[in-house]
Amino acid sequence: MIRAAAIASVASIAALVAGCFDATTIDEYPCPPDGTALTYASFGEDFLAANCETCHAADAPSRHGAPEAFTFDTLDQVRGHADRIFVRAAAGNTTMPPGPDDPPADERARLAEWLACGAP
Ligand code: HEC
């Protein structure tokens, strides 16, 4: 009995740890059946400007180490990196932006929907 309980608690700790590193990918997040009302003009451009472009713009005074290849100035650049943007910042994924000033969960949910629908 004691051994079974120990095994069960080890398993639940393992599941917890796995969960922390188990990012949701864009393929796991369907576009709603009716599509999205969000567009680059109404949402994506402003979201990226507010949360990402201090480091990920070509003309950022300091990129704080953000890779040159990951510049989000245009819709084409955003679409080209949609899978990585999703895994770092959309839905429950919160590793971007770095630091404590995260956008709220409802904004990340909107980012997820917009990207999952092809970033219209
Ligand atoms: C304060 C600066 C800063 C801000 C703001 C920032 N990033 Fe980053 N970003 C970095 C740095 C530094 C790296 C390289 C280290 C790393 O990958 O964690 C990076 C790397 C990345 C990468 C490439 C690595 C990968 O996992 O593919 C993506 C994609 C990314 N960021 C997305 C975003 C998104 C989306 C936002 C806004 C929601 C954002 N970042 C906001 C600094 C920033």
Q: Is the CB of 65 inside a 6 Å radius of any atom of ligand 1?
A: yes
The residues spanned by each domain of the chain are 24-116
Cα pseudo-dihedral 15, 105, 94, 10, rounded to 10:
-10
pLDDT over 70 for what percent of the chain?
82
Task: Measure 52 CA to ligand 1 centroid, in angstroms.
Answer: 7
* Centre of ligand 1 from the C-alpha of residue 70, in Å: 8
Buried b / exposed e over 86-116, threshold 16 CB at 10 Å, is bbbbbbebeebbeeeeebeeebbebbbbbbb
Taking 60 as the threshold, does the pLDDT of residue 17 lie above it?
no
Q: In the predicted model, what is the mean pLDDT of the chain?
A: 89
Residue nearest to atom 35 of ligand 1 (CA): 85
CA of 55 to the centre of ligand 1 (A): 8
Ligand 1 atom index nearest CA of 63: 2
Q: What is the best residue among 26, 86, 88 to mutate for testing ligand 1's pocket, by most ligand atoms within 8 Å of CB?
A: 88
pLDDT one-digit tens code per residue, 36-67: 999 999 999 999 999 999 999 999 999 999 99
Q: Whose CA is nearest to atom 15 of ligand 1?
A: 66
Which pLDDT belongs to residue 16?
47
pLDDT digit string (tens) for 92-110? Answer: 999 999 987 789 999 999 9
